[in-house]
Structure 1
Amino acid sequence: MRKVKLDDKSRFMYAAIFAVLIVALAFIFGYKKLEDKATALNAENDGLKTRIAALEQYYKAEKDNLRDTEEMTKGINDILSEYSSGATFEDGVYEAIRLYGASGNSMEYDKIGFADPIAVKEIPLETVTAAGIEGYDQAITFYQFDVDYTGKVLYEGLKDMVDEIVDNERYNLAIAEMNYQINRSGYIEGDTLVSFYCVDGAGLSYEEPPYEEYKIGLSNLFGVVYATEEEEAEEADK
């Protein structure tokens, strides 16, 4: 085989071609490496996006749950605020006085009957505890206390008595039963059975009826007495 002797010019050309091939291969392998790295980064970014989306959804759900819990708590507080913590004989008599005033002083009582309070609904301690609502840590029981007001009253007075019961702001009241008949004097005679609804275990404290507005006595139990400014000042100084 005949050997070909390369001159300097040929050697330079082959060296240049070799250098170009080296650069091309380096570029190809470098690009492939960068492409693989970019693919990995994109995959990692997609994973991060998925995690971020999941976190956003989680925190949105937490925010919605917190808002729903706050609204539910407010709703529970609003409902329970409509109930008194208890009703006793004194509350029944106090309401009799208010009904007397609402009737235009036409209500003449023959009898006021009191029934024993009965539990009508109970929320067990386990349920209350599981709810985890601040301020509620014991069983909640709703009670019904019935008072039967019997006597005679003018018809217009009875209508105003009904308004007093329905629009009552101090107690949660309901008319359980009404039985009346007209007598010859123009009055109607009968009874109104009123249910007082109370709640125990909701953190409410019992408030005694404000009898100080009324003159308590054998002859004038239902007479309203308003203190003068001087009397109020004297009472405040005590």
Structure 2
Amino acid sequence: MKNRNGIFWGLFLLLSAGILIVSQLHLITYTFSFWTIVATIFLVAMLIKSLVYFMVPGTVFSLAFLAILYAKPLHITAIVPWTVIGAAILISIGLSLILRPFLMKHHPWMRYGHHGGYNWHEQRGYDHNIDVKTVDESDVDVTVKMGSSVRYVTSQDFKQADIDVKMGNAKVYFDNVTVQDTATINVNVSLGGVELYVPRNWNIVKQIDNNNMSGISEEGKPVVTEDSPSITLRGYYSLAGLKICYI
């Protein structure tokens, strides 16, 4: 594993140096911000690490988020972020199913152990590509890192949900919950996507901060009445997509 770590850091430093030199020499006509370069270096690091450790989802999602980051120069703004993220999920699952026999045969450490404290099955969801759970607590926590999760909330006294997504995708269904009066949904998304499925009678009060490379969309139309519960949607999303579906 030490050799793998050496390869990772060596390639990472070389590519980081290349990115910085190209950006400063203005060899590319399109102008990139400082934070775009920082995000690129981070994504390239994740891509190299995923390749070194044969992590299919990590490789696919790193490429997908690089595509989102450079959507304008690549002329693919029409398909970001949701089409790219959706395609990444399907490609990740498909490649994992196709390559799994080969990886298990030639890299048995994926089957039984850890590498650098990282458990392949538990963290990458190799046997369960999408993490699906039903929760009935009043306070709900959803954390996704380089993966996909689905949560069905069935609380009879829903008060708050904290959704934290980094380089992944989360779908949270609130259609079977009961809100006594008010509730809060906190969303923090970086390089990923979140879909919220909420009842039509919810009065969603948006208090969301985003940068210019993110998007928020709504599907369906709310039907708000005097008896509708007030749901405050707070948080921040960067290089990400947030979708509210009224069902």
Q: Same fold (TM over 0.5)?
A: no
- TM-score, normalisation: structure 2: 0.21
- TM-score, normalisation: structure 1: 0.22
- Structure showing greater radius of gyration is 1
Q: Which has the higher contact order (CA 8 A, sep 6+)?
A: 1
**Structure number having the greater helix percentage:** 1
